[in-house]
A = this chain, B = another copy of it.
Amino acid sequence: MPDTIKYLLDESRIPKFWYNLIADLPSPPPPVLHPGTKQPVGPDDLAPLFPMSLIQQEVTTEREVEIPGPVREVYKQWRPTPLFRARRLEQALDTPARIYYKYEGVSPAGSHKPNTAVAQAFYNREAGIRKITTETGAGQWGSALAFAGALFGIQIDVYMVRVSYQQKPYRRALMESYGARCVPSPSNETASGRAILAQRADHPGSLGIAISEAVELAAQRDDTKYALGSVLNHVLLHQTVLGQECVGQMEMADDYPDIVIGCTGGGSNFAGIAFPYLGAQLRGGKAVRIIAVEPSACPSLTRGRYAYDFGDTAHLTPLTKMHTLGSTFTPPGFHAGGLRYHGMAPLVSHVKELGLIEARAYQQTACFAAGVQFARTEGILPAPEANHAVRAAIDEALRCREDGVSRAILFNLCGHGHFDMQAYIDYFSGKLADLEYDEAELAMALAGLPSLG
């Protein structure tokens, strides 16, 4: 059996700054527009939802944003996270590739999400906020924010997509263990929730609806703000802590990635590992192939339109230009709940349009097969979302074997699968099918994109 190769940085090497890709881009991303005026929004437009410190991070063009001391202190609980060389997987694949993975599942919530949850809780606390509303799908984000809220003494109200609320009671219980309140969405607590329920009392909910509910409530109270776990610039910014650690760890390995891979739902874990490498390339460093991997059943980057769209179903958010399937698009019920969002982070969409990254989509059974092979060789069971990155890494490693070339492949193992065992049960029992989205529904959702005219 090959030796274990783990690259672990000293905690003094937790980055002191988040890295802002915008500073190195050849062109800035298109502005965020006010849905009424269709004019670029200003900080005041966003002030009902976010503390000003986060709004400033949303629009800053500075290359580096200092990480506050108290945030780094909380990061120290599990950061720097380990980077592994997947030697046992390489052996099983009989590949000349050098496969590396960053493992974010060691955080208390089991994923990369606390990287931004802790930061957002800190800034809200600094602004005197007492309550944060948010949405969650599979529950990774909700439990991360619940964890951060407990540490900073902020009440967290999580609007959880109803079908997930019913199917994933254990994720809900984790949030409640941290002291958060978890509400099935659509709910009777908001006008947007009541409007949906009036049409269909047993509506299963969606991330778009849950966002509407959380946004609506935050906008109503001065002591309450809203938090989003992906998509926005400042969320992607916070995740760069993990990619910057990778840079240091790959230096320890005396290697440099040829290929960097992340799965993409809203885009934050992908941006976290990819943007520091993309930035280095833009500043004249080595060219790297960067691959965003998404589910075939919710293929915003590979099949969506690059257009202005709302982030939510009730159209309470500003308009952002992104790869979108349309805010009314409802993806089929595949298991990687964290990847079931109609849009993509505007910044990820922008670099895709600039030709700086590749995107590909996989069906879920191929991803679970990859995840099981990974578990049996590397010993860690990945979350269904992370299985998409594992699949792509294995495919690239197999290509190395075909080509007779050794390439360095780095991917983000963004979370463990301990809360996703039902998906594995379904996979082993043959109940897990590949799912296709409805082409007619996609066409209708795209036809309903907001007009800027």
Which of A26-34, A144-152, A223-231 lies at the binding interface?
A144-152
Total copies of this chain within the assembly:
2
Question: How far, in whole Å, are A88 and B424 apart by their CA atoms in the complex?
Answer: 36
B421 engages A169 (CB within 8 Å): yes
User: B110 touching A425 by the CB < 8 A rule?
Assistant: no
A4 touches B76 (CB 8 A): yes
B-chain residues with CB within 8 Å of residue A379 when the two chains form the complex = 77, 108, 147, 150-151
Indicate whether A6 sits within 8 Å of B76 (C-beta atoms), given known contacts A424-B173, A428-B173.
yes
The total of chain A residues at the interface (CB under 8 A) is 43
Closest chain-B Cβ to A370's Cβ sits at a distance in Å of 13
Asked if A93 is an interface residue, CB under 8 A from chain B, the answer is no
**Interface with B: A175-183, A246-254, A438-446, which one?**
A175-183
CB < 8 Å: which of B11, B151, B179, B381 contacts A174? B381
Which B residues are CB-close (under 8 A) to A74? 1, 4
CA distance A70 to B147 in the complex (A): 37
Contact across chains for B76 and A425 when beta carbons are under 8 A apart:
no
Q: 17 A-B residue contacts at CB 8 Å? A: A1-B70, A1-B73, A3-B73, A4-B73, A8-B11, A77-B84, A77-B379, A88-B151, A108-B381, A150-B375, A151-B379, A170-B418, A170-B422, A173-B422, A173-B425, A177-B381, A418-B419
Residues of A within 8 A of B (CB): 1, 3-4, 6, 8, 11, 70, 73-74, 76-77, 84, 88, 106, 108, 110, 147, 150-152, 169-170, 173-174, 176-179, 372, 375-377, 379-381, 417-419, 421-422, 424-425, 428
Q: A77-B379, A170-B421, A177-B375 known; 18 other A-B pairs, CB under 8 Å?
A: A1-B70, A77-B84, A106-B106, A108-B379, A110-B418, A147-B379, A150-B375, A150-B376, A169-B425, A170-B170, A173-B421, A173-B428, A174-B418, A176-B424, A176-B428, A177-B417, A177-B428, A418-B418
